[in-house]
Structure 1
Amino acid sequence: MLLTCGNEEVLKLWDVDTGNCRHTFNSSVKRVINSCAWFPDSRKIVCGSINPDNRIYTCDLEGNELEVWEGERMPKISDLAVTPDGHRLISICSNREIWIREFPRGKEWVIPEEHSITSLSLSRDGKFLIVNLNSEEIHLWNVIDVSTIPDTFRGHKQKMYVIRSCFGGSNCLFIASGSEDSQRHSSVPIQVLSGHSMTVNCVSWNPMRPHMLASASDDRTIRIWMANKRPRKN
């Protein structure tokens, strides 16, 4: 199954095998849902809406609301993620805050950033997160034992657009990021992959094949990258 949403779109659930829309999530109030994420059991989802009001809510696959965070003091949500154990919800609030809350309605805490956050990505074990900033930095934070100073990665270009990065590679020990200079950058960077002709907005590492990743670009192409195999030493 696949979920899609956007600033001018409704939330839809798709069948990947057939390409058919399985369900369109309707509401008595027409909401602009700009972010959504699966729970690890694939039986419910969490959504963030920004219009007509700011709210986060969980629902089942028929659209029935299960839990809601809303109110006048609710900040604007720009991105969401759920840890693989389903115990924590991580959201980007008011562009400069990482909001972590435990399920069901447990402890909450905030990680502040000095610059605007454009995207969020979780490690496969849910212990670490990375955020892309419009200061052309990627910050790595520990979700379990939050420190006051994150690890910082640089090398990609990001001035105007939303650029996404991700964990991947062997044991998720690497970070890959898109870039506005049409490159796909890795780490500081360890390697730069050339091929796209326009901004690379998003990259995604193959969770089953650590030497394979995909990149999506404004040049309207998706490219699949494979690491070159080194010859074995005798």
Structure 2
Amino acid sequence: MDLIDENLELKEIQMLQGHTDRVWSVAWNPTTGFDGIPAMLASCSGDKTVRIWQQNPSCRSSDPWECKAVLDETHTRTVRSCAWSPSGKKLATASFDATAAIWERVGDDFECVSTLEGHENEVKSISWNSSGTLIATCSRDKSVWIWEELPGNEFECVSILQGHTQDVKMVQWHPFLDILYSCSYDNTIKVWAEDDDGDDWHCVQTLGEANNGHFSTVWALSFDTTGEKMVTCSDDLTIKIWGSDSKLMQASGDVFAPWKHLCTLSGLHDRTIFSVHWSREDIIATAAADNAIRLFIEDKDVVDGPSYKLLLKKEKAHDMDVNSVQWSSKESRLLASASDDSTIKVWELASVP
């Protein structure tokens, strides 16, 4: 059955409470939530901490999620971003204290094994590449840094990317290629790739107003499972879909397939759209300062180019701004959200009987 034909609701499974300040970001551990391994979620906050939440499948109460660990005493200011390594064994965090931290999971405990220093001020986002060998960070200092993991939990900065003219809000690696994407207060998304000789990184494309891009701050981006479509969201209240032939890039390392604007969705949020995430089931989730969550799917009835339509809207998903939404990498209809109201919510996209 087509999703649009289903009677669906975004059902709140549980509100996770414990943070004492706004929650900026959530991240699902990619190696949990299947084969009997309980799902695990990380959240980070203005209270300078990271919380690790784990699902207890055998719990028969109405609250199956519990806080398993609180990571503190490392960052001295807001923790803005968190990201799991592909192996699920390490968690990277980015903070307004101008540092990033790497935490290693040992059983139920987490130990800070490395601190990445160098940015001049607030680090806004952190991301692992698909092999877990590279980390990217970005900052209010307008720069993007690429770090390589060395033996013994050491990390070396291998490139500092200068190109944005304002605060860089987010970095995100391509799902399976070592190509990096950054979005900024300067209204652009930049695409970064390694030089042919592997000595340095450079910007291979800038997506901005000149090529049907955003005309205000770009807050976030996400890829579909093929890596051939990308979605971006902005302070201009629009969501944009982009397309590229990533198979071409994968087949030939010296060929870059530029991204092209496919369509724009507008008039669906009333205030800044802070977060966007694409599920394995091809559902796009967005979160905004209007306290709402929206879900979108491709309109298969449109023949002249890709088009997307609203699948579901959840007004008052939180009591304040919704800063982050992320689909589970395993349970395709499980969604987490984080808000200025200091809570995380776990949702299920469920069929209504």
Structure 1 residues 221 and 29, CA gap change in structure 2 (3 angstroms): closer
Structure 1 residues 179 and 60, CA gap change in structure 2 (3 angstroms): same
CA deviation string 1:155-192 (max 9, x = no partner)? 12324xx610110152xx21111122222111253212
1:10 is matched with: 99
User: Contact (CA 8 Å) 2:98, 2:117: kept in 1 or not?
Assistant: no
Number of equivalent positions = 225
Aligned-pair distance for 1:93?
Answer: 4.5
2:147 is matched with: 58
Q: Which amino acid letter does the alignment assign opposite residue 18 of structure 1?
A: D
User: Contact (CA 8 Å) 1:81, 1:122: kept in 2 or not?
Assistant: no
User: Contact (CA 8 Å) 1:48, 1:57: kept in 2 or not?
Assistant: no
- Unaligned 5+ runs, structure 2: 1-89, 246-256, 297-308
Larger radius of gyration: 2
1:79 is matched with: 170
CA distance in 2, matches of 1:180, 1:31: 25
Q: Which amino acid letter does the alignment assign opposite residue 153 of structure 1?
A: L
**Percentage identity across aligned positions?**
18
CA deviation string 1:100-147 (max 9, x = no partner)? 133344771121132221222222332222111111111111143546
2:348 is matched with: 226
1:91 corresponds to 2:187? no
1:132 corresponds to 2:233? yes
1:152 corresponds to 2:268? no
CA distance in 2, matches of 1:30, 1:167: 32
Structure 1 residues 64 and 199, CA gap change in structure 2 (3 angstroms): closer
2:204 to 97, 108, 113: 108
User: Contact (CA 8 Å) 2:277, 2:284: kept in 1 or not?
Assistant: yes
Structure 1 residues 134 and 106, CA gap change in structure 2 (3 angstroms): closer
User: Contact (CA 8 Å) 2:320, 2:339: kept in 1 or not?
Assistant: yes
CA distance in 1, matches of 2:280, 2:312: 13
User: Contact (CA 8 Å) 1:136, 1:156: kept in 2 or not?
Assistant: yes
User: Contact (CA 8 Å) 1:157, 1:181: kept in 2 or not?
Assistant: yes
* Range 41-50 or range 133-142, more displaced: 41-50
2:275 is matched with: 164
Aligned-pair distance for 1:56?
Answer: 2.4
2:112 is matched with: 22
Q: Which amino acid letter does the alignment assign opposite residue 41 of structure 1?
A: S
2:301 is matched with: none
Aligned-pair distance for 1:63?
Answer: 4.2
Structure 1 residues 96 and 150, CA gap change in structure 2 (3 angstroms): farther
5 Å-filtered alignment, 1:174-189, equals 174-187=283-296, 188-189=309-310
2:314 is matched with: 193
Q: Which amino acid letter does the alignment assign opposite residue 206 of structure 2?
A: V
User: Contact (CA 8 Å) 2:99, 2:119: kept in 1 or not?
Assistant: no
Aligned-pair distance for 1:36?
Answer: 1.7
User: Contact (CA 8 Å) 1:54, 1:74: kept in 2 or not?
Assistant: yes
CA distance in 2, matches of 1:29, 1:99: 19
CA distance in 2, matches of 1:169, 1:24: 32
1:47 corresponds to 2:133? no
1:217 corresponds to 2:339? yes
User: Contact (CA 8 Å) 2:136, 2:144: kept in 1 or not?
Assistant: no
1:34 corresponds to 2:124? yes
If the length of structure 2 is used for normalisation, what is the TM-score?
Answer: 0.56
Structure 1 residues 158 and 10, CA gap change in structure 2 (3 angstroms): same
CA distance in 1, matches of 2:134, 2:311: 38
User: Contact (CA 8 Å) 1:10, 1:24: kept in 2 or not?
Assistant: no
CA distance in 2, matches of 1:44, 1:215: 26
User: Contact (CA 8 Å) 1:26, 1:63: kept in 2 or not?
Assistant: no
CA distance in 1, matches of 2:172, 2:276: 14
Aligned-pair distance for 1:70?
Answer: 4.4
Structure 1 residues 26 and 149, CA gap change in structure 2 (3 angstroms): closer
User: Contact (CA 8 Å) 1:5, 1:36: kept in 2 or not?
Assistant: yes
